[in-house]
Amino acid sequence: MSETSILGAELSPLLTRLAADETGGLEMEIRFGEIHKGKRAYFQTGVSLNWLMAVKAYLERSGWILISDIKYQQFKVGQKRVRIFADGKTEAISKRVIAMRDVMLPKAKDVRISLAREKAVDIPSLTGVKHKRVYRQTYMLDGFRFDLTKTKHPRGKLWENRVEVEVVDGLQANLRQIIETVAAIS
């Protein structure tokens, strides 16, 4: 069985439990690719922050190390997109527009270096949204990176909440172990 199919089989029921909020509502996108070193999988919900905060609390209790805490606003200025970080630094990024479901935020370690290798981060023109706020915390332990991302679209009340798992250095067996670890939350 491939890594992809193993990931899908084991994560699907887990994420359903994680993303269900107190009302029983569920709005979740699960996206899978080949999971090996340097690859990632993510899952997200627009329902509530409850499950995201549960993951965050569990990681902190379990000794995961917070390696990055990024806050920035992204504005559309003419034909350029500009990020303004919490520390006042600015950064222009690519003009390429990608559908929201395909948006991949840059890796934490790459945020302030050249973004030539990264996909553009933008909001579909159909929404009419000109900027958004992003809060991103990155935890690292045992060869895995967990990114907890909250994205606010100012013309709507909905936060897009996402947990992204990246295999930085590890084998398939380690992936199974981390899935079992996160399952303890639910």
- Window from 63-77, 88-102, 108-122 with minimum mean pLDDT: 108-122
What burial class does residue 179 get, using C-beta atoms within 10 Å of its C-beta: 0-12 exposed, 13-18 middle, 19+ buried? middle
**What's the domain count of the chain?**
1
Give pLDDT, residue 107. 36
Q: Return the structure tokens found at 56.
A: 């965050």
Token pair for 22: 């107190």
Give the domain extent around 70. Answer: 3-183
Encoded tokens for 70 = 């990024």
* pLDDT score for 24: 36
pLDDT for position 175: 47
Residues of the chain above pLDDT 90, percent:
0
**pLDDT tens digits, one per residue of 120-148:** 333 333 334 445 666 777 776 655 566 77
Tell whether the model's pLDDT for residue 76 goes beyond 50.
yes
Mean pLDDT for the chain?
A: 49
Provide, rounded to the nearest whole percent, the portion of the chain with pLDDT above 70: 4
> For residue 75, what pLDDT is reported?
57
Give the Cα separation of 89 and 49 in Å (integer): 28
pLDDT 10s digits, 14-54:
444 444 433 333 333 333 333 344 444 444 444 345 556 66
Cα separation values, 108 from 4, 24, 73, 160, Å: 24, 33, 15, 18
Tokens matching residue 125 = 């023109």
